[in-house]
Amino acid sequence: MTDESFELKVVDVVEETTDAYSISFEVPPGAEEQFAYKPGQFLTLAVPSDRTGVAARCYSLSSSPGDGGPLTITVKRTADGYASNWLCDHVREGDTVRMLPPSGIFTPASLDADLLLFAGGSGITPVMSITRTALRQGGGRIVLFYANRDERSVIFAPELSRLAAEHPDRLQVVHWLESVQGLPTQEQLKAFASAYATYDAFVCGPAPFMKLAVAALKELEFPRGRRHQEKFISLGGNPFGDLHDQEVAEHEIEDAEHDPDDADEALLGVEGDRPQGPVKLEVELDGEQYVFDDWAPGTKLLEHLESKGVKAPYSCREGECSACAVRLLEGEVKMLHNDVLDDEDIAEGIRLGCQAVPVTDTVKVTYH
Ligand SMILES: Cc1cc2nc3c(=O)[nH]c(=O)nc-3n(C[C@H](O)[C@H](O)[C@H](O)COP(=O)(O)OP(=O)(O)OC[C@H]3O[C@@H](n4cnc5c(N)ncnc54)[C@H](O)[C@@H]3O)c2cc1C
């Protein structure tokens, strides 16, 4: 496994609410290309831990690319959480933090599209980046439904008011406070979204909120291509390239294939046999076409591409974050682990590159 982590210097820390902090980082000279990002993408931080060495956690960028400012994440304390509290309590201007470059697919295909944004609590972070960027660089309308526990927990409230006042024809922000209106129901979310049925929808927030919002969008028959969601989960593994994880990764396929219970559970996506010999692989990535004829059947797509020197995107390497998502154009793969794609994603041909092993003799994929 390669470790492509960087040490970034903290240039600012801002208390947004009593339990949320924005932390800004300076990109080191020479790493500008690696740290170029799209609105809605996230960084993966190596949070120091006496217990495990590192606790790897993803944090969405709330800043907007191309505004000339530093890269900013916004971290909200999780009750009894380890990394979020460590970051809020310990990180100060002048410190350095180790991290992986931006990745993720929770990003609008076009900044000119009309956007329907649902954010709950800290789920505002990637949504804020999308809002800031679309207002500056795009031309569509933006409607934000923003749910919070109470007024004091609304992150970015003053800036959202300012942006809505500056762009009355383009941005509408609807605040939903649990303290005032109770938790939103699926019916209420559906009634709200029904006025924007042609918009591109983005949903991020606590799991129950996301479940309701996505169900409402499905009821309104938003097609999968216009329904995006970002799940905020804590990574179970460590993508920072330590030896232990590498050994685990190397034995994972073997274990899955030899333990029938694990194999039933782990080989997700499709049924199929393992090809007998090397597989022909075609990959579209960043406008380049790659063709290989020696993809070994037990090797994961991401690992094969890395062995060829291809810089394919990834973050968690555990099937938990979707930074490595590809779309199948031909052939089939199995995923050894998948915590993030739903049945509809799989039916649409989306697969996780970090977990995909081939099941057909030819496979063609494209990265978004
Ligand atoms: C794509 C993505 C984007 C995200 N964006 C954001 C964002 O913008 N803002 C935000 O606030 N959150 C975001 N998250 C969520 C974030 O990554 C974390 O899940 C969240 O901050 C909770 O992490 P935590 O460690 O505080 O809590 P938990 O993960 O709940 O902490 C408990 C876990 O930490 C372990 N633990 C306890 N003590 C230690 C120790 N000493 N050393 C090591 N491990 C320990 C425990 O075993 C347990 O597994 C995002 C997640 C994803 C996947």
Tens-digit pLDDT profile for residues 21-55: 999 999 999 999 999 999 999 999 999 999 989 99
What pLDDT is stored for residue 260 in this prediction?
Answer: 35
| CA-nearest residue, atom 19 of ligand 1 | 234
Ligand 1 center–CA 161 separation, angstroms: 29
Residues touching ligand 1 (Cβ under 6 Å) are 42, 49, 51-52, 55, 57-60, 73-76, 78, 81-85, 104, 122, 125, 230, 232-234, 321
CATH number of 266-367: 3.10.20.30
Number of Cβ within 10 Å of residue 224's Cβ equals: 14
What pLDDT is stored for residue 353 in this prediction?
Answer: 96
Q: What is the pLDDT of residues 222-254, one digit of tens each?
A: 998 899 999 898 887 788 865 344 344 434 434
Ligand 1 center–CA 84 separation, angstroms: 6
Q: Which residues contact 283 (CB under 8 A, 6 or more apart)?
A: 289, 290, 291, 292, 305, 310, 312, 326, 364, 365, 366, 367
Rounded to the nearest integer, the mean pLDDT of the chain is: 90
What pLDDT is stored for residue 258 in this prediction?
Answer: 40
What pLDDT is stored for residue 105 in this prediction?
Answer: 86
Please state which architecture CATH assigns to domain 6-103.
Beta Barrel (2.40)
Residue with tokens 């006025």: 195
| CA-nearest residue, atom 37 of ligand 1 | 82
Residues of the chain predicted below pLDDT 50? 1-2, 243-267, 269, 271
Q: Is 227 helix (H, G, I), strand (E, B) or coil?
A: strand
- Locate the ligand 1 atom nearest the alpha carbon of residue 85 and give its number: 26
Ligand 1 center–CA 235 separation, angstroms: 7
**Would you tell me which CATH number, out of the four given (3.40.50.2300, 3.30.420.40, 3.40.50.80, 3.40.50.150), belongs to the domain 115-229?**
3.40.50.80
What pLDDT is stored for residue 255 in this prediction?
Answer: 45
- Locate the ligand 1 atom nearest the alpha carbon of residue 316 and give its number: 53
Ligand 1 center–CA 43 separation, angstroms: 13
- Locate the ligand 1 atom nearest the alpha carbon of residue 83 and give its number: 25
Ligand 1 center–CA 57 separation, angstroms: 5
What is the pTM for the complete model shown?
A: 0.85
| CA-nearest residue, atom 21 of ligand 1 | 84
Domain borders along the chain are 6-103, 115-229, 266-367
Do domains 115-229 and 266-367 share one topology? The answer is: no
| CA-nearest residue, atom 51 of ligand 1 | 232
What pLDDT is stored for residue 352 in this prediction?
Answer: 96
| CA-nearest residue, atom 9 of ligand 1 | 75
Q: Is 36 helix (H, G, I), strand (E, B) or coil?
A: coil
